[in-house]
Amino acid sequence: MMVNPPVQAGNQKEERLAASVRDALHQAVSDAPPTIAIEDADERDRWLAEMSQRLEKRVPDPNARKELLTTIHYEATRAGLDPQLVLGLIQVESRFRKYALSKSGARGYMQVMPFWVETIGNREDNLFHMRTNLRYGCTILRHYIDLEKGDLFLALGRFNGSRGKPNYPNRVLAAWQSQWAWTPSQKPTQVATESPSPTPAPPSPASEPPPVTLPPVATAPVKPAPEPPPPVPANKPPVTPPQIAAVTPPPAPEPPRAESPRVEPPASRKPVRRDIVIVR
């Protein structure tokens, strides 16, 4: 009969762990995988495949890339933001580096400042944790958009701490439009005359309560600048109104001259003959 050896339980001690180790442990025990909030399966796969191809150079691991894109889409949609906008913002803020740390102390993908943990979260929250960082960042950006009454330009300035300056908002908007713009495929229209049914809300993880639906971002329309008047050449003389020519009355007609009567020689008058006398 075999006797099992006694259990040799180790005396576990609390140790200081690196941020990456704490992140992995926290994710393993508590993080439920999010989902992409696109109803159509084909459309969802097309978005994931296209964004994954664009992100491949920055995040080589395909599993990490898929998890990051899925979480970005879920947290952005949950906060009422365009996922493509959030991708552009992350590109400018951290270049998709999970453990990015700025000189001012901002952390993670969306460069969240630590004071937000005590302001709106828990002290135990780790801003280097992927989903925690994305949830904080999307919530803060949504707050700034509401604070600026839908003005995305000013909201992005607030997010960066440079409100009113054009450099940062222009960089984010340029990255959004040039690197991460995406157009959903058009679905065939139904012939039925009845109004279409509303789109159902995106599914939520089973381990979390249903997310609060926030209104979409209402960006103020950009008014085109008025076109300046065409420049006037320096050597071109000023245009003067045409002069009206003076009207000269025609000369008065001269009175007819009285013709003197023509004297005709009398018909009966004959020429006088003069004889020439030659003297010898």
For tokens 């995406």, the residue is 182
pLDDT value, residue 154:
93
pLDDT band at 35 (very low <50, low <70, confident <90, very high): confident
Q: Which residue has the higher pLDDT, 130 or 215?
A: 130
CA pair distance 206, 179, nearest whole angstrom = 33
Helices 130-147 and 19-30 pack at an angle, to 10 degrees, of: 90
pLDDT exceeds cutoff 60 at 136:
yes
pLDDT value, residue 210:
43
Q: Could you read off the pLDDT of 54-106 as tens digits, one per residue?
A: 999 999 999 999 999 999 999 999 999 999 999 999 999 999 999 999 988 99
pLDDT band at 53 (very low <50, low <70, confident <90, very high): very high
For tokens 């191809």, the residue is 53
pLDDT value, residue 184:
86
Q: Average pLDDT, stretch 28-57? A: 84
Fold of the CATH domain 19-179: Lysozyme (1.10.530)
pLDDT exceeds cutoff 50 at 171:
yes
Handedness of CA 207, 70, 75, 213 (dihedral sign): negative
Residue 138, phi then psi, degrees to nearest 5: -65, -40
Are 145 and 139 spatial neighbours (Cβ–Cβ below 8 Å)?
Answer: no
Hey, which of 89-93, 162-166, 251-255, 262-266 has the most confident mean pLDDT? 89-93
Residue 112, phi then psi, degrees to nearest 5: -85, 135
Portion of the chain with pLDDT greater than 70, in percent: 55
- Per-domain boundaries in the chain: 19-179
Q: Could you read off the pLDDT of 176-199 as tens digits, one per residue?
A: 999 999 998 865 444 333 333 343
Q: How many CB atoms lie within 10 A of CB 154?
A: 18
Q: What is the mean pLDDT of the chain?
A: 73
Within a 13 Å sphere around the CA of 121, how many CA atoms are in the beta-carbon half?
19
